[in-house]
Amino acid sequence: MTEKSPPRRKHLVGVTSLAERVLDLLASGQATTRTELAGLLGAAPSTISFTVGQLMDHGLVAEEGTVSSAGGRPRKVLRLGGSDGFAVAAELGGRHAHVGVVLPGGGLTDVSTVPFPTADGPEAALPGLVETLSSLAERHGRGLLRGVGLCLPGPVDVEPGLVTLPARMPGWNRFPVRDWLEDRFAVPVAIENDANCMAVGEHSVRPAAHRQSIMVKAGSGIGAGVIADGRLYRGGTGGAGEITHVRVEAAHDIPCSCGNTGCLETVASGAALVRILRERGLEVTSTEDVVRLASDAHPEATRAVRQAGRYLGQVLAANVNFFNPDAVYLGGILSTLEPFVAAVRSQLYEGCHPLVTEHLVIERAVLGADAGLAGAGQMALQRALAHALHTATGAHHP
């Protein structure tokens, strides 16, 4: 008697990694057809078609209409199955949280800023945020909530979902943020540091050809997120992009929040600019004050901002020479200042090899202040899809 072949759904276990990447690209809106998926993933069209077919069998992907193609037959448009779902997301700052609803494909809606007392610690600050995000979910249909994304201003250990040794988040170290939120929302939760969230959000709206990029957040602190081969690169222990603690000669022995001295953060961050301008007799108490003065062409503030951009550009140049990205994107409140951006750009052209800068894009983030929020929401949707995929295949997922 001839044995029957196992059901098609079992075959998906062997291509789970590829299936996850397909779902990631569809969720972020970077691909909508099999041809685009094959090009971005470097896989054979037959392999992509097989994987998409498996995902369709599980209801994770569906076809919706066609799109014309030059010199060929129309291509079928792919979308996420059940794509009427959404994620709610929040980007935490020192005293406020940026919140909103993130749709499959990266669309944002209901974006607002609400008070958030980070310094009071997680157990005091998070309940109010849960209430705000729950209200957003109720407004859009709680049953369609797929995930929750949280963008944090500190180092994140992604696997257990913890903040680790954050410089500006007293009481948050090792607090189980992800588990705490999953207990309350009963959907998958993604947490990540702000620069990585911004990198993911900005990458999703940039040309597909830009598969290697560095996203720099220049605000009260400094951070960077790295996209390698179209995916967020976290490094061996999740510390990729920690340029803020690179030692720079100009910082001498100025103490840093990390416990070391002479770090980039001590001369190029918003917090550093506040300190520098106060030492020069200006009445500033926040990075916003610095930006306001520089925007009004205050000579001392403008000079300090320009110098901060030079220091950042010097450190970035070493990273750009090493990594050879397609693009460097600048975000955070300091990126709104042209003297700062111009100084960074100038140092990159001066300090990098001509081959590296020949086609290098150096621009402000087009998503602006929403980049981190968009990235956090996309990560939440991708985590929800990964859970659904692993549930369908019976594979383990953390």
Question: Model confidence over 89-105: pLDDT tens digits?
Answer: 999 988 899 999 999 87
Tell me which of 125-129, 250-254, 307-311 is least confident: 250-254
Q: How much is the pTM?
A: 0.87
CATH number for the segment(s) 206-365: 3.30.420.40
Does 8 have pLDDT greater than 90? no
Q: Tell me the three-class secondary structure of 286-347, residue by residue.
A: CHHHHHHHHHCCCHHHHHHHHHHHHHHHHHHHHHHHHHCCCEEEEECHHHHCHHHHHHHHHH
| Mean pLDDT lowest among 14-23, 170-179, 292-301, 319-328 | 14-23
Confidence band for 10, pLDDT divided at 50, 70 and 90: very low
Q: For residue 292, is pLDDT > 60?
A: yes
Q: What count of Cα atoms within 13 Å lies in the side-chain half-sphere of residue 193? A: 32
Angle between helix 299-323 and helix 338-351 axes, rounded to 10 deg = 40
235, pLDDT greater than 50: yes
> What is the topology classification, in CATH, of domain 8-80?
Arc Repressor Mutant, subunit A (1.10.10)
User: Tell me, what's the pLDDT at 389?
Assistant: 85
61-69/213-218 β-pairing: unpaired
Per-residue pLDDT for 81 more than 80?
Answer: no
- Burial degree of 297 (CB within 10 A; 0-12, 13-18, 19+): exposed
For residues 212 and 227, the answer to whether their CB atoms sit within 8 Å is yes
Least confident of 61-75, 196-210, 212-226, 255-269: 61-75
pLDDT at 11 over 50: no
pLDDT, mean over the chain: 90
**Predicted local distance difference test score (pLDDT) of residue 178:** 97
Of 14 and 348, which is predicted with more confidence?
348
Q: Work out the pLDDT band at 133, boundaries 50, 70, 90.
A: very high
Residue 226 has pLDDT above 80, yes or no: yes
Q: Using the structure block, give the residue that is written with the tokens 């959404």.
A: 86
pLDDT at position 387? 87
What does the pLDDT read at residue 14?
45
The more confident residue out of 394 and 29 is 29
- pLDDT, residue 151, reads 96
Give the whole-angstrom CA distance, residue 122 versus residue 180.
Answer: 10
> What are the CA-CA distances from residue 298 to residues 277, 304, 341 (Å)?
11, 10, 17
Kindly report, residue by residue over 32-49, the tens digit of the pLDDT.
Answer: 899 999 999 989 999 999
CATH code of 86-198+373-393, in short, is 3.30.420.40
- Supply the pLDDT for residue 69: 61
Tell me the mean pLDDT in the region 133-140. Answer: 96
**Domain range annotation of the chain:** 8-80, 86-198+373-393, 206-365
pLDDT the model gives residue 9: 40
Say if 8-80 and 86-198+373-393 have the same CATH topology.
no
Q: Is the pLDDT of residue 275 over 90?
A: yes
Per DSSP, 236 falls in state S
pLDDT > 60? residue 74: yes
Residue 189: what pLDDT? Answer: 97
Rounded CA separation 205/338 (Å):
22
Share of the chain above pLDDT 90, in %: 70
Report whether pLDDT(148) > 60: yes
Report which DSSP code applies to 243. G
53 or 27, higher pLDDT? 53
pLDDT value at residue 6 = 38
